[in-house]
Amino acid sequence: MNATIAGHDGKPRCRWCGAAPEFLDYHDTEWGFPVSDDRRLFEKLSLEGFQSGLSWRTILVKRENFRAAFHDFDFDRIARYTERDLDRLLGDEGIVRHRGKIEAVINNALRAQELVKREGSLAAFIWRYEPDRSQLAKPQTASTSAQSIALSKELKKQGWKFVGPTTVYAFMQAMGLINDHVEDCFIRAEVDRARQQFQRPGEGVGNR
């Protein structure tokens, strides 16, 4: 099967983005482009946790609802959530009402605060796990990597939840630590350029 499909403009794109109408813009403008903003990184880790056992389309179509429900994934604010907030979220039909996953986001907000105190920013910590080109598998042939396993292990050690190696690998793909667009996808070159121009977070430098 061909790894690409032709978009509305005739340009080749990763085949997966043709599976749902919501995927096209996400594929063209977000997936794989490097991110150093702590709030966006926390949001994506949280949404990948919610996706566990579900499709990404389910989460993507509800993303604005998630953002509203979780105060735009401001982890300093989420860390102050009370039982009233938990009840509010469990009653919110616009999101995935899974107690364990909701509690994980609240827990992870506290862990994120701790990590920022130690490292300066989430980005400074996470981007240390960017793999070398020599360590990369052929695009879209892996669901985990040595780096996603290592990052998952370290996050779990710090007390994070719903951050298994597959979840973390999908997060790394989406946030640009890996360019996993297939070779013939025209967005791959755009992501490569963005990654070349991207300033990796330095030690102790925040991007919030």
| Positions marked active-site | 26, 48, 56
In total, the chain counts a number of residues equal to: 208
- Strand partners of residue 13: 5
- Strand partners of residue 12: 6
- Strand partners of residue 5: 13
d(CA 173, CA 10) in angstroms, rounded, equals: 25
d(CA 21, CA 96) in angstroms, rounded, equals: 21
d(CA 152, CA 166) in angstroms, rounded, equals: 9
d(CA 50, CA 95) in angstroms, rounded, equals: 9
Q: Which two tokens stand for residue 49?
A: 């946790």
| DSSP code of residue 10 | S
- Strand partners of residue 14: 4
